[in-house]
Amino acid sequence: MSTLIKTVTDELRRRILKGSLPAGSRIKEIEFSAELNVSRTPLRLALGELERLGYVEKSGRQGFRVREINMAEVAEALELRGVLEGYAARRIAEMGLSDKDHNWLGMLVENGRHLISSWTRDMRQPFVESWAENNKQFHDALINMARNSHLAQSMQIVSRTVFARAGNLGSIGDYPEIELEFFTRAQEDHEAIFDAITQREGARAEALCREHARRSIANKQKLSRLSERVPT
Q: Per-domain residue ranges for the chain? A: 3-66, 71-227
Neighbours of 24 (CB within 10 A): 10
200 close to 157: Cβ distance less than 8 angstroms: no
Query: For the segment 213-225, what is each residue's pLDDT rounded down to a tens digit?
Result: 999 999 888 877 7
What's the CATH architecture for 71-227?
Answer: Up-down Bundle (1.20)
The predicted pLDDT at position 231 comes to: 37
Pairwise pLDDT comparison (202 vs 72), residue with the higher score: 202
Helices marked H in the chain — which ranges? 3-18, 29-36, 40-53, 71-95, 99-117, 124-145, 149-158, 176-198, 202-227
180 close to 119: Cβ distance less than 8 angstroms: yes
Angstrom distance (rounded) from CA 213 to CA 232: 18
The predicted pLDDT at position 94 comes to: 97
25 close to 65: Cβ distance less than 8 angstroms: yes
Order of strands, sheet of 64-66, starting from the edge strand that comes earlier in the sequence: 26-27, 64-66, 56-58
**28 in the Ramachandran plot: left (φ > 0), alpha (ψ -120 to 50) or beta?**
beta
Angstrom distance (rounded) from CA 5 to CA 1: 6
Average pLDDT, the chain: 88
12 close to 53: Cβ distance less than 8 angstroms: no
Angstrom distance (rounded) from CA 80 to CA 181: 24
The predicted pLDDT at position 175 comes to: 72
Query: For the segment 118-176, what is each residue's pLDDT rounded down to a tens digit?
Result: 988 777 777 888 888 999 999 999 999 999 999 999 998 998 887 777 777 666 556 77
The predicted pLDDT at position 59 comes to: 84
What's the CATH architecture for 3-66?
Answer: Orthogonal Bundle (1.10)
Mean pLDDT is lowest, of 11-20, 38-47, 183-192, for: 11-20
Q: What's the pTM value of the predicted model, to 2 decimals? A: 0.81
Q: Which CA distances in Å does 11 have to 35, 64, 71, 76?
A: 11, 16, 22, 28
Residue 232: pLDDT band by 50, 70, 90 thresholds? very low
Mean pLDDT is lowest, of 43-57, 115-129, 185-199, for: 115-129
pLDDT of 228 strictly over 60: no
Mean pLDDT is lowest, of 142-146, 161-165, 202-206, 228-232, for: 228-232
Residue 209: pLDDT band by 50, 70, 90 thresholds? very high
Query: For the segment 4-28, what is each residue's pLDDT rounded down to a tens digit?
Result: 888 898 888 888 877 788 888 898 8
